[in-house]
Amino acid sequence: MLKITDKVAALRPGEPFHSLEFFPPKTTMGFDNLEARLRRMACALRPLFVNVTWGAGGSTATKSLQLAELCQRQLELTTCLHLTCTNMSQAVIDETLEAAKEIGIRNILALRGDPPRNEEYSNAPSDATANGTSGIEFEYAVDLVKYIREKHGDYFCIGVAAYPEGHVEGACPERQDVEFDIPFLVEKVKAGADFIMTQLFYDVDKYLSFEKSLRDEPSGVFRDLPIIPGMMPIQSFQMLKRITKLSGASIPPDILTRLEDVKGDDEGVKREGVNIVSEIIEKIKSTESTQLRGFHFYTLNLEKAVSFILERTNLIPAPEESVFEEIDGPITNGNNRRDRRSSSVTSDPHNRVIIDSDSGITESYGHAFASEAGFLKPPEQNRPPEVALAISEGEGSLGREATWDDYPNGRFGNARSPAFGEIDGYGPSLHLSQAQAVKLWSYPVTTDDISALFVKHIRGELEAIPWSEQELSSESKVIQEHLIKLNTKGRWTVASQPAVNAAKSTDELFGWGPKGGFVFQKAFVEFFCSPDDWTALKEKLDKLEEMSYYAANKNGDYQSNVPTGEDSLHAVTWGVFPGKEIITPTIIEEVSFKAWKDEAFSIWNEWGRVYPSRTASSKLISEITKTYYLVNIIHHGYLEPDFLWEFLEA
């Protein structure tokens, strides 16, 4: 039984279900660690199915299929593969669908993807002739649904996306209207869609109104169709702001107030986020429905918040029998020596430890093996709701994977984490239509034009640049004038932070984490610059021991004054808190820099495709993409807050 609709139909009346979504990690280490995480989550959380995302324009095609094969074949999880159709050739879509068949996948989530770009994405003659076809242009998701049905009949179970508050086109929404969208959703279902999965939301009343509108829609196509609401746990306040801006999802005032009260404390935000999403789920579950209630979780490859929510809302199917161990107090090894413990987002006196069977730890130590499935008490045992789920604390196979990315900071997190590089699921892309991009950035024809765009963004006069849809952060405004000088000189900054020495964790500008702590930062900056500028700058940097740098161009010319390997890791933000180990949420290292470099230059490519080929703007951006360097510079002397900026301005 591999089709999602068949699995839903086989559930008992009134039985809720859930599904989990994962993306291909950006590093090899992250992929390896995701496999262990998937095994743990599959056994402990028992989803009805899992989704695997697909990068814009097929940018993650190989990794997505690799992850889908891991889920479907090795873990035997019913897997749904995302597939976007815009900015992709028919040949790639055909190859992907055939590969999905070979893997054994029977479920596809058919999506439009990023707004269509120019002719560079259309089918090349070789794509069409290679398969004996004339080439099909895919502009909307309905085109993909029709194509799959025409070519593969009923082999695939096809899902489509829906937007409870209306679809938004990129970071500058021009239209967001549920009633406007519904006719297009009707068209997708009539074309052959079998179920609907919604965009994330935090206003439960708007979702319930949307669901009712679909059930009551005159054509009747939604009456018996599975509609699965999308849930995204709140991992950080900044992430929430960005995701709601990009998706167009609103935040009810009462929820925003609850989060603003703890916005400087990542642990507090995650805890309150668990409460908020759990309340949303419980309200949906309590609302009368003619169909089974299911919930889809956008995990971002993080497991802890999802696990808390699933346990609290009784969405985890009860195992045949309980095979977990509850351990009061510290975890010990066989010699009664206390193991070093990693800090957890939520403290819980009952630590249920689940380990991999090849960990070398025997059953006599009182731990349950992952292969034995559940380590959660079934709902009928009525555990007190305040006792939260704490997945695997400790070292190595005892769960470091579950704790090291409690503080997701996108590409400045730990590159070994499966969640590295992702803070909201949108990935590296413009997230804008061609018209929106031109409206924002016009038609640059010189490097001075590019510099002017970056400066306007830093001054708050431009809503977005290709690498950032948000205005300058409050703490970066401390170095705003320095950044303006750098960008005016043609060093186009995409990341930076000022130095901080022992600011209180409650500090309005720099504070984060629990109360009673102190936070520190090293100054760093990351920018694009010309090859001549980099050559001159490198010569000066090589004379300074207190500076570390990483630099690379699109073609892979990598240069650094930092040793390769583990020694290349730099914590540039850290916090010291009562009763906790030192926490280092922001890290810069070789592997993470190289992974980001590829994405950073792919965004240049995306920007270039906004303009017709052979135009001055297209040629300018193409030349920059081919020749410029991405440079990251760290100043380790955080007691000298102005040193880095004065050096770069000299």
Pairwise pLDDT comparison (385 vs 165), residue with the higher score: 165
| pLDDT tens figures, 138-190 | 888 999 999 999 999 999 999 999 999 998 764 445 568 888 899 999 999 99
In this model, does residue 130 exceed pLDDT 50?
Answer: no
Residue 86's pLDDT is what? 79
Maximum C-alpha span of the chain? 73
The residue with tokens 């090291």 is: 404
Residue 422's pLDDT is what? 62
Please classify residue 395 by burial: count the beta carbons closer than 10 Å to its beta carbon, then call 0-12 exposed, 13-18 middle and 19+ buried. Answer: middle
Task: Tell me the residue type at 390.
Answer: A
Confidence of residue 133 (pLDDT cuts 50, 70, 90): very low
Three-state secondary structure string covering 532-552:
HHHHHHHHHHCCCCCEEEEEE
Confidence of residue 388 (pLDDT cuts 50, 70, 90): very low
Give 298's strand partners. Answer: 21
The topology under which CATH files domain 17-117+137-313 is: TIM Barrel (3.20.20)
Of the chain, the end-to-end C-alpha distance in Å amounts to 67
Strand order in the sheet with 629-635: 492-497, 523-529, 629-635, 547-553, 558-560
Taking alpha carbons only, the member of 404, 288, 428, 397 closest to residue 344 is: 404
**How far apart are alpha carbons 379 and 319 in whole angstroms?**
10
C-alpha torsion sign, points 500, 503, 506, 512 = positive
In the numeric block, which tokens belong to residue 521? 């930062």
In the numeric block, which tokens belong to residue 134? 């004339």
**How far apart are alpha carbons 328 and 397 in whole angstroms?**
19
Share of the chain above pLDDT 90, in %: 53
- CB of 24 closer than 8 Å to CB of 35: no
- Of 42-46, 66-70, 455-459, 490-494, the range with the lowest mean pLDDT is 42-46
| pLDDT tens figures, 70-128 | 999 999 999 999 998 877 788 889 999 999 999 999 999 999 876 665 555 444 333 33
Annotated catalytic residues are 21
Residue 545's pLDDT is what? 92
CA 500 to chain centre: 28
Q: What is the DSSP string of 233-267?
A: ----HHHHHHHHHHH-----HHHHHHHHTTTT-HH
In this model, does residue 14 exceed pLDDT 60?
Answer: yes
The residue with tokens 């297209």 is: 618
Q: What is the mean pLDDT of the chain?
A: 81
What are the extents of the domains in the chain?
Answer: 17-117+137-313, 434-649
In this model, does residue 382 exceed pLDDT 80?
Answer: no
In this model, does residue 533 exceed pLDDT 70?
Answer: yes
Residue 377's pLDDT is what? 32
Buried b (16+ CB within 10 A) or exposed e, 412-425: bbbbbbbbbbbbbb
Residue 429's pLDDT is what? 65
In the numeric block, which tokens belong to residue 496? 């930076």
The residue with tokens 């009747």 is: 220
- CB of 434 closer than 8 Å to CB of 117: yes
**How far apart are alpha carbons 648 and 610 in whole angstroms?**
32
**How far apart are alpha carbons 46 and 77 in whole angstroms?**
9
Separation in Å, CA 222 to CA 188, 294, 296: 11, 15, 18
In the numeric block, which tokens belong to residue 150? 């025409």
The residue with tokens 């990351």 is: 526
In this model, does residue 380 exceed pLDDT 90?
Answer: no
Contacts of 522 (CB under 8 A, 6+ apart): 497, 499, 570, 572, 573, 634, 635, 636, 638
**How far apart are alpha carbons 464 and 430 in whole angstroms?**
10
- For residues 196-217, average pLDDT: 96
Residue 631's pLDDT is what? 98
| pLDDT tens figures, 224-247 | 999 999 999 998 888 888 888 888
- CB of 274 closer than 8 Å to CB of 233: yes
In this model, does residue 553 exceed pLDDT 60?
Answer: yes
**How far apart are alpha carbons 594 and 22 in whole angstroms?**
22
**How far apart are alpha carbons 234 and 142 in whole angstroms?**
31
**How far apart are alpha carbons 20 and 300 in whole angstroms?**
10
- Of 103-107, 126-130, 336-340, 580-584, the range with the lowest mean pLDDT is 336-340
| pLDDT tens figures, 483-527 | 999 999 999 999 999 999 999 999 989 988 888 999 999 999 999
Element holding 51 (H helix, E strand): strand 49-52
In the numeric block, which tokens belong to residue 509? 């500008």
- CB of 260 closer than 8 Å to CB of 231: no
Strand order in the sheet with 500-504: 500-504, 518-521, 570-576, 583-588
- For residues 249-263, average pLDDT: 94
**How far apart are alpha carbons 142 and 191 in whole angstroms?**
7
**How far apart are alpha carbons 64 and 82 in whole angstroms?**
9
